[in-house]
Every structure is written in C-alpha cells, then in structure tokens.
Copies of this chain bind each other. A is one copy, B any other.
Amino acid sequence: MGNSFGKLFRISTFGESHGKGLGVIIDGCPAGLKIDEEYIRNEMQRRKPGQSKITTQRKEEDEFQILSGVFEGKSTGTPIGMVIMNTDQKSKDYGHIADKFRPSHADYTYQEKYGIRDYRGGGRSSARETSARVAAGAIAKLMLKHFGISIQAYVSQVGDLKLEKSYLDLDLDQTENNIIRCPDPVMAEKMIDFIDEIRKSRDTVGGVVSCVAKGVPPGLGEPVFDRLNAELGKAMLSINAVKGFEYGSGFEGVKMRGSEHNDIFYTEGDKVKTRTNYSGGIQGGISNGEDIYFKVAFKPVATIMIDQESVNEVGESVTVSGKGRHDPCVVPRAVPIVEAMGALVLADYLLISRANKL
C-alpha cells in the first residue's frame, strides 16, 4: 500500500525505473476540464533528465499517453489513466550493484521490507517515479488555473548559497530563465557555478525549493488532523530526498515573540486581510486567503562518483563505485515536482471544501 495520494482528487501510481513502464490513475478530476496535452508535455519536460549541464545526462523521453477519462479533449469525470513507457533502460549498468546496498539509498530498506527488489536503477525508489506525479500534477494545475489558483516553485538554496530575499521581492516569472530555476539571476549564476564545481569533484550537494500558491480561497483545510499545512507537509516529505518542510515563518519563527509574529487583521473593501503573513496563508490548518508559501529541504544526492564502503546482501564488505549518469544536485529538477505535489493537495482540498456545505 502507500501508492495513492489524495481523497477526492486522488492519484495512484505505479512503475519502476527500469520496468516496462510507469503510470498514474487520477480518480476524481471533475468532468468538463479542458485537458491541454501540450501543457502536460511541457511540465514533463521541466522534470526530465538531460536538460542541462547541471543535471544528469541520462536521456528519458517521458512520453506519456492518456488511455482513458478524456473524451473530445475534455475530462469525463471517470478515471484518467496515463502511462509512460520506459525506453532508455540501460539495465546492464546496474549489474554491479545487484546485491550491494548503496549508502543512503533505499536498497537495504526495500530488501528488508520486501525480501526481493528490482535493483535496476533503484526500481520503485528511483526518482523516475516522480514523472507520474508530474503528469498528474499538470492536470491538477489545469484545474487550479480554472479556479484562478497558481502555484510556483523555485530554488532558494544550494549548499550554503541561500537566497535571503522573500518571494515578494522576486520576479517568479524569471524562474524558468536559467537552468538552476532560481528567479534571482545573480544568485542563479553563483548556484550554477557551484553545482558545476561539485559535479567536477564527483560529489553532490543538497538544496532548498521554495513554493508559493496564490489565489487560494479561504476555507481549505480539514482540522484537526488533515490541516492544509499537514497535507502539504506530507506531500513534500513523500518526494525522494526530502528531509524537511516548513511553511510561513517556519523554523526561524520560533525565535520571534508573539507580538511580532502575530499577523494583524484589517479589511480591504469587504475582504479580511493580514498586514504580515508569518502564518504562510494558513491559520488553524485552514487557508486564510493570503499567499501560501513553504520551503522543502533536499539532501545531497546519494549517488556519488566516488568509491564508498558498504555491505552486500549476505553481509560482506564491498566497495560501491559510482557509475552511470546522475544529478550532482536534485533541486532544479525538483521544482516541477514540488509544484505538482502542491497542486495535487490544493486541488483535492478545493474539492473537499465544496462538499461539506448545506
């Protein structure tokens, strides 16, 4: 279990890195939504490997096919089934790790849990799995767009290089203008150079993706357990390599006094607004109509090009050598994944919020 996400706008995914294919079922997409395949394709492109010198050179075409749930260009309300066939599967590349546990990968835990695993490219634990999320997330984004909601992520930190500016002082439309997906061009340059250096040293580094959702109406979120922030947190922590999540003032907020941190209400026309937004657009687990923003921490990629000690399935000491084509830093490609998962949560909670009314 564990391969479905969402309640009313619900996805279920399948697929391994080097199996025949991956896919997703979206159950609960409202009928009548225009399904723009070009838009979905573009989202897939943003995630796919081989985009630039700072991402893996592995080629995956990520061609998706919609098998059901769309008729004459529109969603019908029935499940949308999508498949992405695997093509460039250099399975032989993985023979050398068939029985070894790569450090800080999921090899050991899958073996312990299931007693069997498809070791090729990490199998189900491969980041390739996120392609299905991005495909589904693209449809969620189309639905959100219909309701006037946008979601945009960007890279705000790579290693020690941290963008201190608030998203309010950035032009998020610049994000796609550089290969690191940082909307500050100066910082972007620095980050790219830094990752390139890391890559040359055959090592990897972590980073942070920030994300902002605008136009979210008040009322989304289901306390006490299914708070909007709790579900966003779960969504983000379900992405490979994520180690932390914070929203609004986050970990920094703990240092503040209540008198500084409280967001004062005022009215603008007939709208209730807040003067600051340390709440990150969510109060008591429910959206308040302000921008929702949050940060997601990604650890350094576990696959490095440096030899490492480890053990194999029978407990013998072995050396794991870096091989294949991997990312020195995951964050540029994580940007569309964070958006996808965020969009899935918002789409789901938007539908929920419309149900429980007299």
Contact = CB atoms under 8 A, between A and B. Distances in A.
A4 B356 contact: no
Given A205-B257, A233-B234, A219 B297 contact: no
Interface stretch (A45-53, A74-82, A163-171, A176-184): A74-82
Interface in A101-157: 101, 103-106, 108-110, 112-118, 123-125, 129, 143, 146, 157
A97 B289 CA distance: 22
Contacts of A198: 257
A336 interface: no
Given A12-B25, A77-B356, A285-B106, A238 B224 contact: yes
B223 A103 contact: no
Contacts of A80: 14
Given A67-B15, A68-B20, A244-B245, A259 B203 contact: yes
Interface string A24-48: 0101111111000000000000000
Contacts of A215: none
A115 B219 CA distance: 10
Most buried by B among A249, A258, A282, A357: A258
A21 B85 CA distance: 14
B238 A225 contact: yes
A44 B290 CA distance: 36
13 contacts: A4-B4, A16-B78, A30-B357, A30-B358, A31-B116, A68-B124, A76-B118, A103-B263, A106-B283, A204-B257, A225-B234, A234-B237, A245-B245
Contacts of A92: none
Contacts of A8: 1, 352, 355-356
Contacts of A309: 264-266
Please report whether the interface of chain A is mostly helix, strand, loop or mixed according to DSSP.
mixed
Given A3-B225, A7-B7, A31-B116, 4 more contacts: A78-B118, A83-B83, A203-B257, A253-B299
B14 A267 contact: no
A218 to B, nearest CB: 4
A8 B354 CA distance: 11
Contacts of A13: 25, 79, 224
Interface in A220-259: 221-227, 229-238, 240, 242-251, 253-259
A288 B109 contact: yes
A14 B79 contact: yes
Interface in A304-358: 304, 306, 308-311, 315, 317, 351-358
B81 A21 contact: yes
A260 to B, nearest CB: 8
B28 A258 contact: no
Contacts of A222: 1-3
